[in-house]
Amino acid sequence: MPANRRSVAVIGGGYSGVACAVHLSRAAREPFEITIVEPRPELGRGIAHSAGDPDHRLNAPTHIHCFYPDDMDHFTAWCAANDIGQKDPDAFDGERLYARRWDYGTYIGEQLARHQADNPSGSAVTHRQAAAVDIAKQDKGWAVSLDDGGQLSADAVILTTSNAPPSVPPPFRGEVEGHAAFFRDPWDVDAMGRIAADARILVVGTGLTMADVVTTLMRDGPARRITAVSRRGLLPARQRKEPPDETLLEALTRKPPKFVARHGKPERLLDLFRALRGDIAALAEQGREWHIAFDDLRDAASEVWPALPRPEQARFMRHLRPWYETHRFRLPPQNAEAMDRGVREGRLEFRAADIVGARVSGNCVDVSLKPRRSTRVADTLYEAVVNCTGPVNVASAGGNPLLHSLIEGGLAVANPFGLGLEVDGDCRVKGRDGSTDGTFYAVGPLTRGRFGESNGVPFIMMQAVAVGKKLAAQFANQV
Ligand X SMILES: Cc1cc2nc3c(=O)[nH]c(=O)nc-3n(C[C@H](O)[C@H](O)[C@H](O)COP(=O)(O)OP(=O)(O)OC[C@H]3O[C@@H](n4cnc5c(N)ncnc54)[C@H](O)[C@@H]3O)c2cc1C
Residues forming contacts to ligand X in the complex (CB under 6 A) are 11-17, 37-40, 46-48, 58-60, 131-132, 160-163, 391, 400, 402, 444-445, 455-457, 460
Q: Which of 212/312 has CB closer to ligand X?
A: 212
CA distance 376 to 368: 10
Q: Which of 45/430 has CB closer to ligand X?
A: 45
Q: Which of 240/315 has CB closer to ligand X?
A: 240
Given a contact cutoff of 8 angstroms between Cβ atoms, the answer to whether 201 and 385 are in contact is: yes
| Sequential DSSP letters for 268-335 | SHHHHHHHHHHHHHHHHHTT--HHHHHHHHHHTHHHHHHHS-HHHHHHIIIIIHHHHHHHHSPBPHHH
Residues 6 or more apart whose CB falls under 8 angstroms from that of 261 comprise: none
Q: Which of 238/319 has CB closer to ligand X?
A: 238
Would you say the C-alpha torsion 271, 272, 276, 282 has a positive or negative sign? positive
What letter would DSSP give residue 123? Answer: -
Q: Which of 39/322 has CB closer to ligand X?
A: 39
Best CA proximity match to 469, nearest among 437, 434, 429, 427: 427
For residue 257, cis peptide bond before it (omega within 30 degrees of 0):
no
Least distance to ligand X, CB of residue 30, Å: 26
CA distance 395 to 405: 9
Least distance to ligand X, CB of residue 463, Å: 10
Least distance to ligand X, CB of residue 327, Å: 15
SS3 assignment, position 478: helix
Least distance to ligand X, CB of residue 295, Å: 13
Least distance to ligand X, CB of residue 339, Å: 17
CA distance 201 to 195: 9
Would you say the C-alpha torsion 88, 89, 91, 96 has a positive or negative sign? positive
Least distance to ligand X, CB of residue 49, Å: 6
CA distance 444 to 461: 8
Q: Which of 248/353 has CB closer to ligand X?
A: 248
- Long-range contacts, 146-154 (Cβ 8 Å, 24+): 146/37, 147/39, 152/9, 152/35, 152/37, 152/128, 153/7, 154/7, 154/8, 154/9, 154/35
Given a contact cutoff of 8 angstroms between Cβ atoms, the answer to whether 236 and 211 are in contact is: yes
Cβ neighbours, 10 Å, residue 309? 11
Q: Which of 14/236 has CB closer to ligand X?
A: 14
Least distance to ligand X, CB of residue 350, Å: 20
CA distance 199 to 114: 46
Best CA proximity match to 332, nearest among 60, 66, 53: 60
Torsion of CA 393, 394, 400, 406, to 10 degrees: 120
Q: Which of 27/51 has CB closer to ligand X?
A: 51
Least distance to ligand X, CB of residue 176, Å: 23
Q: Which of 171/391 has CB closer to ligand X?
A: 391
Best CA proximity match to 310, nearest among 442, 422, 460: 422
Least distance to ligand X, CB of residue 298, Å: 12
Q: Which of 264/456 has CB closer to ligand X?
A: 456
Least distance to ligand X, CB of residue 451, Å: 13
